[in-house]
Amino acid sequence: MRRILIAMMAVMMTMILAGCAGAAKTDSMESGRNGAYHKISQEEAKKMMTENPDIIILDVRTADEYAEKHIPHARLVPNEEIGDTMIEGLNKDDVILVYCRSGRRSKAASDKLVKMGYTAIYDFGGITTWPYETEAGPYQGI
Q: pTM surpassing 0.85?
A: no
- What span, in angstroms and rounded, lies between the C-alpha atoms of 55 and 95? 6
Statement: residue 23 has pLDDT above 50: no
Q: How confident is the model over 113-130, as a mean pLDDT? A: 96
Q: Which of 102, 92, 108, 142 is nearest to 125 (CA)?
A: 102
Q: What's the Cα-to-Cα distance from 29 to each of 12, 35, 111, 124, 126, rounded to whole Å?
A: 27, 10, 11, 12, 18
Q: Is the pLDDT of residue 2 over 60?
A: no
